Structure 1
Amino acid sequence: MRRLIECLLVTDKFRGSQISAHEIAYISDKEWREPFASETAESLSGNYDFTTRILRNHSPKTMADKILHAPVIAVIIDSSEIPDCVLIASDMQRKSSLFQFMKDEISDLFDKFLDDEVRIQIDSWCDENGKLLEGSRPRSVRE
């Protein structure tokens, strides 16, 4: 997902958009307990409040970065605490919250990236008025 953004294989509109994702907050009045490397899912309930999901918006780049740098990826099935889902938290995010994706939500996230189709692309050393840009970076437009 991040590579699609970096290589300008998605539209400017999509890159500037917001993606909604549910987050589960860290239990702030408890001391953080670092999970064992072999237990990415077992110790999550001690650190996070599974009683509340908060819907937040993030840019596609932020979502891709958090998923790419995720030491916490847990597939939850038949839990007594929460419904079947995928839990993801980046190394920078994990002490504040983690993403919770139901099956249709994670599928929808991937579809957002894959369904965005660039139909017009412009790479130019000039701005939209034909004036030569200063500096070494060309202008790129993806619609």
Structure 2
Amino acid sequence: MIEIFKVDNMECTPFIRQVEKFAGDEMVFSDREEDCDVFVTRFFQKLKPLILQYGSSKKYLVWTHEPRFDTHFNHKVSWKGVDVHIINIYTGDIYLNYYYFFGEKIYVKYQIIKLKNLLGKNIKRLQL
């Protein structure tokens, strides 16, 4: 089971969905930093204190569809020797195409697959 800790409120992202949506794919939200596998936030700056505290023992993800919140163009950046994965507008990972918004079930599955790949977890091929 992958435990996700939301560093900020993550409104308007797939990470505000009910836990049941993720539980079917072996993902749950954690309320405790020390128990989580991955920290997720919309702002890179919010990860810095967590990286200093936990180092490479955890995974880190910046996920935002708002261009002002994160301007990285690479899928992965390093800070203090720790990798931070980036999923944003500039990396091309947010929208499937110019006409697709993230509210539908297929999009949530797409993001779950990306998150599992990021964490290096084995995944079953989902029928989309």
**Normalising by the residue count of structure 1, what TM-score does the alignment of the two structures yield?**
0.24
More helix by share: 2
Which structure has the larger Rg over C-alpha atoms?
1
Q: TM-score, normalised by structure 2?
A: 0.25
